[in-house]
Amino acid sequence: MAETGTPPASAAELDRVAARALALCAGAQVIGLGSGRAATAFIRALGAEVKAGRSVRGVPTSEATARLARELGIPLVGLDEASPEVTVDGADEVDPRLDLIKGYGGALVRERIVAVASERQIILVGPEKLVPVLGGHHRLPVEIVPFALPLASRRLAPIAGAPTLRQVDGRPFITDNGNVILDCAVGPIADPERLEIAIHTVPGVVGTGLFVGIAHTVLVGEPSGVKELRRRP
């Protein structure tokens, strides 16, 4: 596993993992479209295939993803119309079990919903996202209903580390769901599943950035090529 000081993946490396992901979901008719830098590389590659005549529909995990897909001519559907055969997304941390921390871009709740609705999830990352233990970046996003913010801040501190309200330009960051995000100062997470359960006991919590047991395949873009990691049975 790479140290957190590893430089971010280059655009060329992300393009390679996007191409590999495209090959892995060649027959899919409905694809969940993730959010973030790696997912954007995949969406652009998929858009090129649509332009060349491929028939496929996408389920977006954020408003930004939906806008990009429309610009590229990818038809979109909601979960009321179809369930994705596969979702392709990025991650902020990946541990050796292929458990994840996601949500630095703020789309964690919709990303989880689309991933769980899918038959399988493919994650695209650079080597800098690989960590020996989740919590290596000392930041765990938790989406909160705004009304519950004072209570949730107090209750989360002893569970997940001191929370900081995410802000942009001096104002609270607002998710596509109209909620706010607390970034919790977690250290190494010994038991991600137990922590996930504990956080959800706090009133007002909508979702966390812990994605445990969801990813099926992780594609890592490296200078020498693409490394493929698969979840062990």
Report d(CA 33, CA 46) in Å as an integer: 10
Length of the chain as a residue count:
233
From residue 222, give the alpha-carbon distance in Å to each of 11, 45, 86, 191, 197.
11, 18, 23, 29, 34
Within 26-148, where are the H helices?
A: 37-51, 63-71, 108-117
Report d(CA 175, CA 35) in Å as an integer: 13
SS3 122: strand
Return the closest-CA partner of residue 161 out of 182, 132, 184, 129: 184
Please confirm, yes or no, whether 111 is among the known catalytic residues. yes
- What is the β-pairing status of strands 163-165 and 180-184? antiparallel
SS3 230: strand
SS3 83: coil
List the catalytic residue out of 13, 93, 111, 128: 111
* Intra-chain end-to-end CA distance of the chain, in Å: 20
Q: Which positions are catalytic?
A: 111
